[in-house]
Structure 1
Amino acid sequence: MVDVLKGLNLEYLAINPASCFRGLHESVVNHGNNQAPEILTCVHEEIACAIAQGYAKIEGRPLGVALHGTVGLQHAAMALYNAYCDKIPIYVLIGNMVDATKRGPGIEWVHSAQDPAALVRDFIKWDDQPGSLQQFAESALRAYKIAMTPPMGPVLLSLDAELQENPIEGPQRPWIPKLPQLRYPVGDAGAVSEVAKLLANAEFPVLVADRMARTQGGMDRLVELAELLQCAVIDQGGRTNFPSQHALNHTFRAKDILRQADVVVGLELGDYWGTLHSFNDRIVRREASITRPDVKTISIGTGDIFIKSNYQDFQRFEGVDVSVMGDGEATLPALLEAVKSQMNADRRSAVQGRGSKLGDGHAKLIEALRSRAAIGWDASPITTGRLCAELWNEIRSEDWSLVGNGLGNIWPRGLWDSRKFYSFTGSSGGIGMGYGAPGALGAALANRKHGRISVAIQGDGDLMYTLGTLWTAAHHRIPLLYVVHNNRAYNQERMHLQVMSGRRMRGLDNVHIGTTLIDPDIDFATVAKGLGVYAEGPITDSKELGPALKRALTLVKRGEPALLDVITEAR
């Protein structure tokens, strides 16, 4: 089994140790010399899977995870759901004792099942329970291929304990199939040509990207296409798809831009309907289209290729004019060449004026954002605008990666100069609490060998779900700076309670009940120190923030994790 995993080039195996995969564990550390895969010790299965999700966003391939039968899989379910919604490949192995007559009394019975993968089958891509070592070899490669084929997602193999532990019988050893070189599906050539013609002749085309760019090549091709067309780009942030300070980036005035569009191309959009409509649920639920009646809408992506019925992550249906089934990044080169062939010299000259106007609009937007970020500069609690400005000031000259953003606002993606596909790793996917800290750590683990500075703006409520992540960061010496956005509340939920109280005209006196994290206040710095991570805080004086960031980043550059507990405004 370990030889097969080595053939898959899995760098790590994230585990919380368990008896049900003791045979595999022993072979990894002794037969495999704890190298490729190397054991990554975690204190909770949800942490292990979330680390794998963050890692894959940077590295572009799975990290292995081993889970403890039924109970470990239940712990990991939330993280697997996040990865499924986020279209991220995770390679999961669980232990199981299939033959009931071989189970020891007590624990082995409650930790085994006839069909353990049934727990999560609605939100993984594929699973199997091999009955022989040869079947394991073949299923292991099949699982990897399925996980890595867009739309990507988690896969799971259930490994019988007897299969892990017993010696190989007979003279013939199982053989390991070849791992194929994967080529991602490209959109139909005719459909791509049709899209190119619409774009080249449009008065005001708009490109909208969500989970599109996996590599720098994907990001660069989108820039080239936008500059050829001199059109606006909206980056919805599922990945870093487009440079934040590029003159054609109009992410933060998306609705105004889309109202003008006569052609909209969506690249791997998770929510096309939500892109083209406004929605408000503050008093009553209201919706309205924000686009022109004659707008032509085009979808390029793999979202419709793999959909399950129970969990509704696929969002509301939008009837687009042209739907191109193909991976967004893989289809971009063909689309770019097709547009070039449609753009003669006169047409290229004609679109320059459109680009100039968009550039002026972008400059005004950035200036307005900078002015807003300066409001309340010396206030306490510290404003999120100053928090992000001070952090940017310390990392702007580094090769940096924002591996977590618990703010939920515009400052980092609006004001920082994001030029690389790893500049920002997107959200959790399923918006499940507890992803932030381990997801950031997985991305930082992947960044480590590239020498990048990894930073995460970490929500306080989210951190309480998976605090044990900090021990893994310290134990494996993964360099990462956590800056805790500590507003001492589940602020999103407090806002919802304010809305409901206002709607029912009951006043706002009680909206703190069940939504705040006070009495006692949580001392994250003390907790982090107890788990082996350098920490400072709580920081309440904005003048102390810059020096504290310098001290913490000095340690991160030396290869250690660090945490700053910053008392901040609500958002």
Structure 2
Amino acid sequence: MRGRHVFMQSLVKHGVRHIFGNPGTTESPLIDSLPEYPQIDYVVALHEGVALGAASFYAQATGRTGVVNVHVAPGLGNALGMLYSALKASSPMVVTAGQQDTRMRLRDPLLGHDLVAMAAPVTKWSVQAERADELGPLLRRAFKIANDPPAGPVFVALPIDVMEQETDIDAIGPGTLYRAGRPDPDGVTDVARLLLASRAPVIVAGDDVARAGANDALVALAERIGAPVWVEGLRHQLSFPSTHPSARGAVPFDAAAIRKALGGADLVLLAGGPFFEDVWYAAGDPFPDGAVVVQLEESPQRLAYNYAPQAGLVGQLQHTLRAVHDSVGASADDSYRTAAARRNAALKAAKDDETASYQARVQKAWNRLPMSMARAMSEIRAAVPANTVVVDESITANIDLARAFEFSKAGDYYSGRGGGIGQGLAGAIGAKVAHPDRVVVAVSGDGSAMYSIQALWTAAHHKLAIVFVILANREYRVLKHNLDVYRQRFGELMNHPYPHMDLTQPGLGFVDMARGMGVAGTAVTNPDDLRAAIARAVASGEPHLVEVAIEGKR
């Protein structure tokens, strides 16, 4: 058999259902093999970054390995930003690129380059297949490494001559791998002891909680110990229901602000994340003075990597959280249970006050023109079904989005990691492929949308019924906020303008752009029209873009 058949059969044996890609000449062996493997769909994108972003969100949404096919050096270069984001998101992925015929290696062929070196800094493993005999074992290892905790992308370069070589070495499946290790019983007892000694515990949850299917276990533990639950500042998944009384929102982006947010906590339990991803330097660590730190992770690599916990446990998070929950319950006395119940009641009262305060804020901004972010999120939420999947790149509108929607379970919400923009529109492609029977709404800022606007064509081409909501404030609003923070931190003048941060002269016409790629569009400037526009877009059963004029930085 030829190398290309080994490649395709490896995908089949690893349960791959979709390849996301942008084809080129060196990818001819793969593309020409597709008709022989109808069980694998090829989702074509007009830009490699869109293909990779879609595959990353698909991997997050399904738990399957995302497979991407990009085109030699320039194509891989186009994808590197999204590849970085996939690495930060711990998305299990096998990223491939066609490579020039190895017999031309010393001739510096057109489009040739060291692809392995290009991909290495933003992958878990980067390798080139040198002969067809390697393909079966190499791909088995690639899928294994991509899925070993913490998961992440690997890169495989596929020279065109290797894909056409004959080999007797067949594709190799993954076998049955039991990665969900149980936590050490002594460690569970130690963590439970620390929790029982705490009078003001706080939990910070990472994306791994959702990926492990451990949301319910985290809710149960939070209720048992009476702890508020924060989530990471940038998150890809929903690890804790947003409307639960214990939900406190996302932590800030510097150590001092995180320390302040965690308040008077005497114990901080970190569960399933890198902890913490700062934007700004601040002296000290992010924990309140004297607080005990406990860390629960699925990977030894993450345990005690940035901070030294008093107790740390490695194990599948659902098992670990349930084991700690049960150990606390078995050892808690009446006074502890009473104190935990009192903390839970206080959290509910605070959540009710917070909700009422937010509703007052929404009403105060209801009639503002241009439309307030708070009203825009309220109208969008009112127009979509309860089971809607939201792909979020709203950035400065993120707080309003999180307050307006009721996200209850993993799979309701996806966003991007790593800080690179442009993930929302591309990610919506992957989310819709993963959730074909659910309404998918992508909410993106206008600046972010321009990084992956070609995703609209992919939605039209594959008939993916996604509602793309573009929040058009005609500026990089988040950069203006960050420039204000920079000026304040470093003593710069605050009355300077914001250079090169306005998206005007000319303005961006998203409805026209959408029409040019086969997607119908609606422009909304009157707040009273937004709810109906979103409802019509959902009801159309086709991809539809809604451009919403919203307020800029005041």
Query: Do the two structures share a fold, i.e. TM-score over 0.5?
Result: yes
Specify whether residues 272 and 216 from structure 1 end up closer, same or farther in structure 2 by C-alpha distance, changes over 3 A only. Answer: closer
CA deviations over 1:321-369 (Å, ceiling 9, x no partner)? 2233445445323322322322245532442122111111111111112
Counterpart in the other structure of 2:433: 445
How much does 1:125 deviate?
Answer: 0.5
Specify whether residues 176 and 496 from structure 1 end up closer, same or farther in structure 2 by C-alpha distance, changes over 3 A only. Answer: closer
Specify whether residues 32 and 338 from structure 1 end up closer, same or farther in structure 2 by C-alpha distance, changes over 3 A only. Answer: same
CA deviations over 1:21-72 (Å, ceiling 9, x no partner)? 21111112x2113x2x211111011111000111112111222111112221
Aligned partner (choices 3, 13, 24) of residue 9 of structure 2: 3
User: 2:353 & 2:333 partners in 1: Cα distance?
Assistant: 31
How do residues 370-409 of structure 1 correspond to structure 2 at under 5 angstroms? 370-395=359-384, 397-408=385-396, 409=398
Matched, 1:504 2:486: no
Amino acid at match of 1:110: L
Contact 2:212 2:317 in 1 (8 A): no
Specify whether residues 506 and 143 from structure 1 end up closer, same or farther in structure 2 by C-alpha distance, changes over 3 A only. Answer: closer
Counterpart in the other structure of 2:266: 262
Matched, 1:411 2:400: yes
User: 1:140 & 1:273 partners in 2: Cα distance?
Assistant: 32
User: 1:20 & 1:180 partners in 2: Cα distance?
Assistant: 34
Number of residue-to-residue matches in the alignment: 536
CA deviations over 1:447-495 (Å, ceiling 9, x no partner)? 11xx211112111011111111100011011121111111101112223
Specify whether residues 129 and 434 from structure 1 end up closer, same or farther in structure 2 by C-alpha distance, changes over 3 A only. Answer: same
Contact 1:403 1:444 in 2 (8 A): no
- Matched residue of 1:109: which SS? coil
Contact 1:434 1:465 in 2 (8 A): yes
Contact 2:229 2:248 in 1 (8 A): yes
Amino acid at match of 1:356: A
Amino acid at match of 1:320: P
Counterpart in the other structure of 1:484: 470
Counterpart in the other structure of 2:255: none
How do residues 313-324 of structure 1 correspond to structure 2 at under 5 angstroms? 317-324=306-313
User: 1:543 & 1:506 partners in 2: Cα distance?
Assistant: 36
Specify whether residues 173 and 136 from structure 1 end up closer, same or farther in structure 2 by C-alpha distance, changes over 3 A only. Answer: closer
Aligned partner (choices 238, 241, 244) of residue 242 of structure 2: 244
Amino acid at match of 2:199: E
Amino acid at match of 1:359: K
User: 1:325 & 1:3 partners in 2: Cα distance?
Assistant: 34
Aligned partner (choices 13, 16, 19) of residue 13 of structure 1: 19
User: 2:533 & 2:212 partners in 1: Cα distance?
Assistant: 32
CA deviations over 1:138-189 (Å, ceiling 9, x no partner)? 11111111111111100111112112124x36xx563534433342344433
Counterpart in the other structure of 1:200: 196
Contact 1:90 1:147 in 2 (8 A): yes
- Matched residue of 1:456: which SS? strand
Identity value in percent: 25
Contact 1:184 1:327 in 2 (8 A): yes
* Structure 1 unaligned spans of 5+: 308-313
Contact 1:20 1:97 in 2 (8 A): yes
Counterpart in the other structure of 1:310: none
User: 2:273 & 2:465 partners in 1: Cα distance?
Assistant: 32
Amino acid at match of 1:122: P
CA deviations over 1:253-302 (Å, ceiling 9, x no partner)? 9766622211110112333485xxxx9x6xxx654667543210112225
How do residues 117-196 of structure 1 correspond to structure 2 at under 5 angstroms? 117-166=116-165, 168=166, 172=168, 174-196=170-192
Matched, 1:79 2:82: yes
User: 1:533 & 1:89 partners in 2: Cα distance?
Assistant: 31
User: 2:503 & 2:379 partners in 1: Cα distance?
Assistant: 25
User: 2:169 & 2:86 partners in 1: Cα distance?
Assistant: 35
Contact 1:481 1:553 in 2 (8 A): yes
CA deviations over 1:108-147 (Å, ceiling 9, x no partner)? 813233x421112112011222333342111111111111
- Matched residue of 2:97: which SS? strand
Counterpart in the other structure of 1:462: 448
User: 1:330 & 1:292 partners in 2: Cα distance?
Assistant: 28
Matched, 1:570 2:534: no
Counterpart in the other structure of 2:291: 295
Matched, 1:52 2:55: yes
User: 2:301 & 2:430 partners in 1: Cα distance?
Assistant: 28
Contact 1:211 1:270 in 2 (8 A): no
Aligned partner (choices 515, 527, 533) of residue 542 of structure 1: 527
How much does 1:536 deviate?
Answer: 0.5
Contact 2:242 2:408 in 1 (8 A): yes
- Matched residue of 1:214: which SS? helix
- Matched residue of 1:351: which SS? helix
User: 2:212 & 2:92 partners in 1: Cα distance?
Assistant: 19
Counterpart in the other structure of 1:230: 226
Amino acid at match of 1:154: P
User: 1:303 & 1:569 partners in 2: Cα distance?
Assistant: 43
Deviates more, 1:297-306 or 1:375-384: 297-306
User: 1:516 & 1:189 partners in 2: Cα distance?
Assistant: 56
- Matched residue of 1:365: which SS? helix
Counterpart in the other structure of 2:42: 39
- Matched residue of 1:88: which SS? coil
- Matched residue of 2:504: which SS? coil
Matched, 1:26 2:32: yes
CA deviations over 1:391-445 (Å, ceiling 9, x no partner)? 11112x431111123233312222321111112113x222112222101221122
- Matched residue of 1:265: which SS? strand
Counterpart in the other structure of 2:4: none
Counterpart in the other structure of 1:311: none
User: 1:53 & 1:97 partners in 2: Cα distance?
Assistant: 26
How much does 1:304 deviate?
Answer: 6.0
Counterpart in the other structure of 1:551: 536
User: 2:465 & 2:343 partners in 1: Cα distance?
Assistant: 44
How much does 1:219 deviate?
Answer: 0.7
Contact 2:443 2:471 in 1 (8 A): yes
Contact 2:259 2:288 in 1 (8 A): no
- Matched residue of 2:428: which SS? helix
Amino acid at match of 2:308: G
Specify whether residues 498 and 246 from structure 1 end up closer, same or farther in structure 2 by C-alpha distance, changes over 3 A only. Answer: closer
Matched, 1:362 2:335: no
- Matched residue of 2:365: which SS? coil
Amino acid at match of 1:436: G
User: 2:294 & 2:348 partners in 1: Cα distance?
Assistant: 25
User: 2:311 & 2:284 partners in 1: Cα distance?
Assistant: 22
Amino acid at match of 2:192: A
User: 2:299 & 2:364 partners in 1: Cα distance?
Assistant: 41
Contact 2:201 2:266 in 1 (8 A): yes
- Matched residue of 1:212: which SS? helix
- Structure 1 length-normalised TM: 0.87
Contact 2:259 2:285 in 1 (8 A): no
